[in-house]
Amino acid sequence: MGSLRLALASLLVLGACSVGEVPIGGGNPDANNSAGAASFQSMIVPLVTECIGCHGAATPPNLTSFDTLAAKYKTGPGASNILVTKGTLGIPSGTHQGINYFTTEEQAIVAAWIDSL
Ligand code: HEC
């Protein structure tokens, strides 16, 4: 009986883990989902204030909102998405169009955000 309880308990724990891995956007970066819009507001908006002047309309990525940001910038794996790696292509490395690109910490946040969609 004790071992049955233990087995049931571990099943519950495993079940809880896999629930946590369900992508908030259902894995579809094009989904018009409010969770993606909310996490864009909290995680991305604070990092892109310097970018909006150039990336608010015609020049992709359009960083004004979750919906205007094209799917290619929301498609994982986050760590290799151009939105995260663009600074490595700059001269000098870490810069882009005359500004400092995302720091290592900011890159990790953006990558984690993309992977959460
Ligand atoms: C002074 C204007 C300017 C600023 C500021 C700027 N960008 Fe850009 N960005 C551009 C231009 C122009 C391009 C296209 C040429 C190039 O790739 O450099 C571009 C290209 C990009 C690309 C590549 C798009 C693709 O699909 O290949 C990314 C990603 C990007 N910018 C992100 C950002 C982010 C994030 C910021 C803020 C940290 C930022 N940019 C700030 C002008 C700017």
Show the ligand 1 pocket: residues with CB < 6 angstroms: 48, 50-51, 53-55, 59-61, 82-83, 86, 96-99, 101
- Contact between 24 and 39 under an 8 Å Cβ cutoff? The reply is yes
For all residues of the chain together, what is the average pLDDT? 83
- CA dist 13 and 101 (Å) reads 40
CB-based contacts of 89: which residues, under 8 Å, 6+ apart?
A: 96
Residue nearest to atom 3 of ligand 1 (CA): 54
- CA dist 55 and 49 (Å) reads 10
- Contact between 36 and 25 under an 8 Å Cβ cutoff? The reply is yes
**What is the band of 84 on the pLDDT scale with cuts at 50, 70, 90?**
very high
Q: Residue 62 has what pLDDT?
A: 98
Q: What's the rounded mean pLDDT across residues 60-70? A: 97
